[in-house]
Structure 1
Amino acid sequence: MPRISLAFAAALACAAAVSAAGPASLDADGVYRGVNLGGWLVLESWLSPSVFAKHGVAAGAGEWQFCEKVGRDQCGPALQEHWDTWLTEAHIATLAEAGLQYARIPLGYWIVDRNSTEPLPAGGWWYLERAVGWLKSHGMRAVLDLHGAPGSQNGHDNSGRTGDIQWPRPGNVNRTVAVLAEIARRVVAWDASGNASMAGAVAGIEVLNEPWTPAVGGPVTYDLLRDFYVRAYDAVREQGFNGTIWVSDGFAGSGPWVGVLAPPQYTDVLLDSHLYHAFGGPTTNMTAWDTVRFVCDQDGPGVAGRTDADWVVVGEWSNAVTKRNPPGGRLQGGAASWLRAMLVAQLGAWDGSFAGGPGRGAGPGKGSFFWNFRTETGEAGWDLLMLLDQAGAPPQLSTAALSEFEFSC
C-alpha cells in the first residue's frame, strides 16, 4: 500500500470494467469481507518501524535495500523474529471471531524465485503455509497477492524495492508470469495433497499489486498490462487453479479494462480497486463526519455505477483521512464513534448495501479488504485489530450481523 498523493475520484471516473462470469466463492454475506495481512512477508517500514531501526535501515527502504544493509545470507534469519511475531494465530482468531472470512496476503516474488544475485530473504514460504493453515482452521480463506514483482512495478517499498520501475522490461514480465505459475502450482499441490489443513484454503490469486500506470504518472502502459493479465491468467489456469484471479485497475478506474478477460473464455476474474481517502481528492479538507457522508453519497454510488463491471472488489481501503486522523495510541473523545461510522459506511459502499444501493452483493461491488490488520504505532485509521479492541469497529463485521444500532447511510 503506497503512501502517495492521489485524487480519490480518479479511481471512480469510469463506469465500465472487466467482465466475468462471477467469483468462484463468496462469504456468507454474499460478498467478500476481508482484511489485508500487510507488512509481514513484504516489509513496509511505516507499519513496523522497529524492525528497520533495530537493523539500522532507513525508514522507507524496500526489502531489497533492507537485505542489502543486513546481508543477503543474514536477512532471512534477521527477519524470522518479525515473521514469527507480526502475524500470530491469535491475530487470525480475533479477526475470524469478528466475522471476517478472507485475508489478502501480500507476497514478494522472491518467496518462490530468489536467484543468486538478489539480496532478498529465503524462508518465507514455510511461514505462508503456516498462516494459510491457521486461516483454514479458523474458517477463513486466503487471497495470495503478488505485491512485489521482479524489477518493481511501482518503485515503492511495498513492491520490495524502491527506486526505478523496471518491471516493464520483457525479462521481468516473463519472470513474473513464471512466478505466478509456480505459486499456483504449489497451491494446487496443497489441494491435491488431501491435507485437510491446507486443501481449499486459497480462494484467489492476485497477479500484480498496484502497477504504476499513466493514471498516476507511471510508465506501466495499459497495453502492457492487458497482455500481461491474459498471460498471467493462462499461466495460473494451466496449473489447474480454479479460484478467482484478481487484476489491478492500476488506479485508472474501469475504463482501460473493458473487454479484458471477458467471458466465456475467461471466468472468475475480479477487478481490484484501491480506494482511499488519505491521499488527497475531494475529501481533503472535509471534517471527519462530512467524509462519512461523502462515502454514503459518492463512494457507494460510484462503485455501484460501474454497470459493465460484473465483479469489482475493493482490495484496499482504510479509515484514514487526509487530515484530522486520531493521534496514535488509545482512542480519545468521540474518535471511536467516528471511526466506527466510517468503517460501517465503507463496508456498505463497497458491497452495495448503502442506502439506495442495489443491495448487498447485487451490484458490481462484491466487498472489500481493510488495510491493514495491524500497525506497530497504533494508527487507528490503519489498524483493524486496534479498532476492534477499542470499539472503533463493530464487534461483528459481516454485513448481515451488523446491529440495527450501527451507523447507517
Structure 2
Amino acid sequence: MGVFSKVAALGAFASLATAWLPETNKQIQSSDGKNLFSSSSGKIRGVNLGSQFIFEPWIGESEWQSMGCGDTGSEFDCVSSLGQDAANSAFQKHWDSWTTKDDISEMVSYGLNTIRVPVGYWLREDLVYSDSEHFPQGGLDYVKKICGWASDAGMYIIMDLHGAPGAQTPSNAFTGQLAPGPGFYVDYQYERALKFLEWMTGLIHTVDEFRNVGMLEVVNEPVQDDDKASSMRENYYPKAFDRIRANETNGGIDKNDYLHIKMMDELWGSGDPNEHIDDLYYAAYDDHRYLKWDTSVDVSHDSYISESCSDNRDSNTPTIVGEWSLAVPDDVESSSDWDPSSNTDFYAKWFAAQVHSYEKQQGWVFWTWKAQLDDPRWSYQDAVKAGVIPKDLGSLQDPCN
C-alpha cells in the first residue's frame, strides 16, 4: 500500500499507537500482563538485531557463505552476484531463521525490554532504482513478524533507518552497500529517505505488529564534522520532523501517541542535531560508545573500568546509548590479557560499569544480540552463556563505588 493510502487509514487505527516511554507516557505490557520496564525503573535495556535485515558479513561469515554470498562485501554486492530471484530466496530464508520467536523469549528472560531494528530504505521497494540498485526484496513481512513477537512479549521497539539512500557513510556494509563515497547528502536522496520515513510512520500507526514501535531513528551514524553534516542538520533533520508529524497529524494521532524522532546526539560529532528544528516535541537522541576505537583511553583493564565508571554521556536529552559492546582494540583482542575465557571477571565488571553510566541517561541497546564470532564481546547471547553478562540484570552490582 502506498504512503498516501496509509495516511488515509491512520485515523481508523490510531489506538494502535504507543508512546515511546512506557513508564511515563503509556504502559507497555506483554500478552500476559507483565510490564518489562518495571524492573529497570523505566530505563531502556535492549539489544540490536544486527545482521537481521542489513547483513554485515563480519558478524556472520558462515551464514553469509551458506546464503551463497561468497566473498561479496554487502547486500548490494550479493544480490548483484546471485541475481534478484535467487537473492530473494536466500535472504528470505535468512530473515526467517536469524532471529526467532525463541530469541525474543530468551531476551525477555534475561531482563531485556527493548529491541532496535536496523533496516534499509530498500524495505520500501518502490524507492529502489531498479536499473542501478540491487537489494533483497520481501523483507517487510519478516520485519512485521519479529515486531509482532516483540510486541506480544511486551518489548519496546526502536525502528532504525540504518541504511540510507546513496549511503550515509562510505565503504561500510551497514549501509547495505560499499559505496565509494557518502552519496546521501543531496536533496534527491534526502527526499527518498523522507518518503521512507513517511511510509514507516504510517505502518507503525496502522499495523498491529508495530504497536510497540515508539521511536523512529532517521539515520544511523552519519558523517562527522563537515559540510555534509551541516547540510543534513539544515535540510534533512527539520524535514524529517515536519513530514513525520504531518503524517501523524493528518491521521488524527493524539500528540501523546506521536513517535519519538531519534537523531544522533551531539557527542557523535555531526554537530548539534537541534540547530534548525523549531519544535522538538518527542525528540530523542542516539549515542554510540565503543571504547575499542577511542584512542584517548589507555588500553588497560583498570583504565577501561575507570573510563566507563566516569563516562559522562550527558549531551542531548533523552539519550539512549544505542550501540556499545565489550570489544577491545584489534592489536590486543587475541592476547591472553584480554581473552574473554580467562578474563571473565574483568568483562563482567566492565559490562556493569557501562550499564552504570548509560542508565544515568535513558538506557542502552547493546550491539548486538547474536553473532557467529565465538566471541562474547560482540554477542549479548554468547556473553550470557559465557557468564560475562548475568541472566538477571537486577543482580548487577555497582562496580564504581
**Cα distance between partner residues in 1 of 2:264 and 2:146:** 24
Q: How many Å apart are 1:169 and its aligned residue? A: 2.3
Aligned residues: 351
Distance 1:326 1:394, change over 3 A: farther
**Cα distance between partner residues in 1 of 2:231 and 2:22:** 30
**Which string of whole-angstrom CA distances, capped at 9 and with x for unpartnered residues, describes residues 260-309 of structure 1?**
545xx3311112111111124222x4212321111112x1xx213x3xx3
**Cα distance between partner residues in 2 of 1:71 and 1:102:** 35
Q: Is the 8 A contact 2:116 2:157 kept in 1?
A: yes
Alignment of 1:170-249 (within 5 A): 170-190=187-207, 195=208, 198=209, 200-214=211-225, 220-240=228-248, 242-249=258-265
Equivalent position of 2:322 in the other structure: 315
Equivalent position of 1:97 in the other structure: 109
Q: Is the 8 A contact 1:92 1:134 kept in 2?
A: yes
Tell me how large the CA RMSD over aligned residues is: 2.4
**Cα distance between partner residues in 2 of 1:250 and 1:294:** 19
Query: Which 5+ residue runs of structure 2 have no aligned equivalent?
Result: 1-18, 24-36, 249-256
Which residue of 276, 282, 295 corresponds with 1:281? Answer: 295
Distance 1:378 1:180, change over 3 A: same
Distance 1:280 1:24, change over 3 A: closer
Distance 1:78 1:403, change over 3 A: closer
Distance 1:74 1:320, change over 3 A: same
Q: Is the 8 A contact 1:151 1:165 kept in 2?
A: yes
Q: Is the 8 A contact 1:147 1:208 kept in 2?
A: yes
Q: How many Å apart are 1:250 and its aligned residue? A: 7.4
For the residue of structure 1 that corresponds to 2:166, the secondary structure is coil
Distance 1:119 1:143, change over 3 A: same
Q: How many Å apart are 1:43 and its aligned residue? A: 0.8
**Which string of whole-angstrom CA distances, capped at 9 and with x for unpartnered residues, describes residues 18-61 of structure 1?**
xxxx96445332222111011110010011112333425325x1
For the residue of structure 1 that corresponds to 2:125, the secondary structure is coil
TM-score by length of 1: 0.80
Which residue of 396, 401, 407 corresponds with 2:399? Answer: 407
Of all paired residues, the percent bearing the same amino acid is 24
Q: How many Å apart are 1:199 and its aligned residue? A: 5.6
Equivalent position of 1:40 in the other structure: 52
For the residue of structure 1 that corresponds to 2:362, the secondary structure is strand
Alignment of 1:10-29 (within 5 A): 24-25=21-22, 27-28=37-38, 29=41
Letter in 1 for 2:156: R
Q: Which has the higher helix share?
A: 2
**Cα distance between partner residues in 1 of 2:335 and 2:146:** 31
For the residue of structure 2 that corresponds to 1:278, the secondary structure is helix
**Cα distance between partner residues in 2 of 1:25 and 1:227:** 31
**Which string of whole-angstrom CA distances, capped at 9 and with x for unpartnered residues, describes residues 51-109 of structure 1?**
333425325x1211111111123211011221122111111111111111110000011
Letter in 2 for 1:275: R
Query: Which 5+ residue runs of structure 1 have no aligned equivalent?
Result: 1-21, 353-364
**Cα distance between partner residues in 1 of 2:114 and 2:234:** 27
Q: Is the 8 A contact 1:35 1:103 kept in 2?
A: yes
For the residue of structure 1 that corresponds to 2:185, the secondary structure is coil
Q: Which runs of 4+ in 1 moved over 6 A?
A: none
Q: Is the 8 A contact 1:213 1:250 kept in 2?
A: no
TM-score by length of 2: 0.81
Q: Is the 8 A contact 1:168 1:220 kept in 2?
A: yes
For the residue of structure 1 that corresponds to 2:174, the secondary structure is helix
